[in-house]
């Protein structure tokens, strides 16, 4: 029954673009009686949990033993190479899920929460809003084994909300009901409204510019705010804010020029192009996860306060993600979707 509950809550959150974009996020359920942990497979969509087999059963005691005995540097390799009959691989975050004792672990990429977590020096502001809750704040580290180690070194026995800078939120609970209550509480307390965006995108101009090229209009009109809102435009151009942005949208976002639009070399073709005051073009090869992440990015930037200081991913942090086989695999699993 609890596996079905996991599927239901996964689908519920996975179909909410304010909480999960594309193949992002992950969930798990532990059944200690059968020594089994069910976890979302890498590259699968939480939103498909009720109509597709997206979960992998893993031997919990063996996972814990392996993770605790092996050096930190090899934990990701152990997870990535873990094979199952379905041919699917467990989530990159398997070590985190396995070593947290809670029955249910839900990791989301909430746009309201991320609007806080991509800013510098937000501890005091968050603390005031989360008074009375059991939470902790984790500095950004590469997803996977390094993040697991950082979490285990920080959390207390009663912690059930983990905020990950430049990444997302992890909710812990003994039941689906507890998870849902905590998600509602966090979303309510850290809620950030979107700023309005004017003017509208210049569709005619964008269509004329992209005619005969590998670029198209975005499926989500809100994505145009990345070029229409001055603060969003300035922030988006400076660098990536969270890991999935790097994996699915590239290391940087470029400004539209005729030469870039007409370039037929896929190696040099940016995933997304911005034309200030006009709108956005999306590369035709961008998968649905990438486009939903563009929507998520546009939402996060519209939810930032007028006065803010952004903490961008560093060059070395970007390099860790672009040269990581586990993320390459996850991207390949979603590229056809």
Residue 22 located in a structural domain: yes
* 169 and 284 housed in the same domain: no
**How large is the average pLDDT for residues 244-257?**
90
* 151 and 235 housed in the same domain: no
Give the CATH number of the domain where residue 156 resides. 3.40.225.10
Task: Say yes or no to pLDDT of 334 above 60.
Answer: no
Q: Give the Å distances, CA to CA, from 183 to 12, 191, 237, 301.
A: 12, 11, 31, 21
pLDDT at 75: 43
Hunting for tokens 């746009």 — which residue is that? 111
- What is the tens place of the pLDDT at every residue in 60-109? 988 888 877 774 544 444 444 455 556 788 888 999 999 999 999 999 99
* 168 and 49 housed in the same domain: yes
* 173 and 241 housed in the same domain: no
Residue 276 located in a structural domain: yes
pLDDT at 255: 87
* 160 and 90 housed in the same domain: yes
**How large is the average pLDDT for residues 286-300?**
97
* 72 and 210 housed in the same domain: no
pLDDT at 176: 98
Which of 189, 211, 232 is the C-terminal boundary of a domain?
Answer: 189
pLDDT at 68: 76
Q: How confident is the model at residue 327 (pLDDT cuts 50, 70, 90)?
A: very low
* 76 and 172 housed in the same domain: yes
Q: How confident is the model at residue 24 (pLDDT cuts 50, 70, 90)?
A: very high
* 168 and 35 housed in the same domain: yes
pLDDT at 197: 73
pLDDT at 63: 84
C-alpha 186 chain-centroid distance: 17
Residue 83 located in a structural domain: yes
Which of 159, 189, 219 is the C-terminal boundary of a domain?
Answer: 189
* 55 and 144 housed in the same domain: yes
**Long-range contacts made by residues 118-125, C-beta under 8 angstroms, separation at least 24?**
118/165, 118/166, 118/241, 118/242, 118/300, 118/304, 118/310, 118/311, 119/304, 119/308, 119/309, 119/310, 119/311, 120/309, 120/310, 120/311, 121/309
Q: Are 166 and 117 in contact (CB under 8 A)?
A: yes
Task: Say yes or no to pLDDT of 112 above 80.
Answer: yes
Which of 166, 189, 212 is the C-terminal boundary of a domain?
Answer: 189
- What is the tens place of the pLDDT at every residue in 180-235? 999 999 999 999 999 887 779 999 999 999 999 999 999 999 999 999 999 999 99
Task: Say yes or no to pLDDT of 8 above 80.
Answer: yes
Hunting for tokens 């039941």 — which residue is that? 175
Residue 58 located in a structural domain: yes
Residue 325 located in a structural domain: yes
* 96 and 207 housed in the same domain: no
Residue 9 located in a structural domain: yes
Task: Say yes or no to pLDDT of 54 above 70.
Answer: yes
Burial bucket for residue 132 (CB in 10 Å: 0-12, 13-18, 19+): exposed
pLDDT at 196: 82
Q: Are 255 and 273 in contact (CB under 8 A)?
A: yes
pTM for the structure as a whole: 0.91
* 257 and 121 housed in the same domain: no
Q: How confident is the model at residue 161 (pLDDT cuts 50, 70, 90)?
A: very high
pLDDT at 306: 84
Residue 275 located in a structural domain: yes
pLDDT at 292: 98
- H or E segment at 140? none
Q: Are 168 and 117 in contact (CB under 8 A)?
A: yes
Whole-number mean pLDDT of the chain? Answer: 89
Domain that holds residue 277: 203-302+306-334
Total domains in the fold of the chain:
2
User: Torsions phi, psi of 69, nearest 5?
Assistant: -85, -35
Percent of the chain with pLDDT over 70: 87
* 32 and 168 housed in the same domain: yes
Alpha-helical regions (H) of the chain: 2-14, 60-69, 75-80, 94-99, 111-117, 123-129, 145-152, 176-189, 203-210, 225-228, 230-238, 243-249, 258-262, 288-302, 315-322, 325-334
């Amino acid at each position: 029954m609890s596996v079905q509950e996991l599927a239901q809550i996964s689908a519920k959150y996975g179909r909410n673009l304010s909480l999960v974009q594309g193949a992002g996020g992950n969930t798990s359920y532990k059944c200690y009686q059968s020594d089994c942990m069910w976890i979302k497979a890498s590259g699968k969509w939480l939103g498909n949990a009720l109509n597709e087999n997206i979960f992998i059963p893993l031997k919990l005691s063996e996972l814990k033993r392996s993770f605790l005995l092996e050096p930190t540097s090899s934990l990701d390799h152990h997870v990535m190479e873990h094979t199952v009959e379905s041919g699917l691989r467990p989530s990159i975050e398997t070590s985190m899920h396995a070593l947290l004792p809670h029955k249910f672990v839900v990791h989301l990429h909430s746009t309201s929460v991320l609007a806080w977590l991509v800013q510098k020096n937000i501890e005091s502001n968050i603390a005031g809003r989360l008074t009375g809750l059991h939470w902790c704040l984790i500095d950004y580290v590469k997803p996977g084994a390094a993040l697991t180690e950082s979490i285990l070194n920080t959390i207390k026995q009663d912690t059930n909300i983990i905020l990950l800078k430049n990444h997302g939120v992890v909710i812990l609970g003994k039941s689906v009901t507890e998870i849902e209550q905590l998600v509602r509480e966090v979303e309510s307390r850290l809620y950030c409204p979107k700023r309005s965006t004017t003017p509208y995108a210049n569709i005619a101009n964008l269509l004329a510019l992209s005619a005969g090229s590998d670029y198209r209009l975005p499926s989500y009109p809100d994505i145009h705010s990345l070029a229409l809102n001055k603060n969003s435009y300035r922030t988006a151009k400076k660098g990536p804010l969270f890991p999935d942005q790097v994996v699915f949208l590239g290391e940087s976002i470029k400004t539209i020029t005729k030469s870039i639009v007409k370039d037929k070399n896929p190696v040099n073709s940016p995933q997304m192009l911005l034309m200030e005051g006009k709108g956005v073009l999306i590369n035709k090869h961008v998968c649905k996860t990438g486009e939903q992440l563009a929507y998520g990015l546009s939402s996060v930037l519209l939810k930032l306060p007028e006065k803010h200081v952004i903490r961008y991913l560093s060059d070395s942090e970007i390099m860790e993600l672009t040269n990581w086989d586990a993320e390459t695999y996850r991207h390949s699993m979603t590229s056809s979707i």
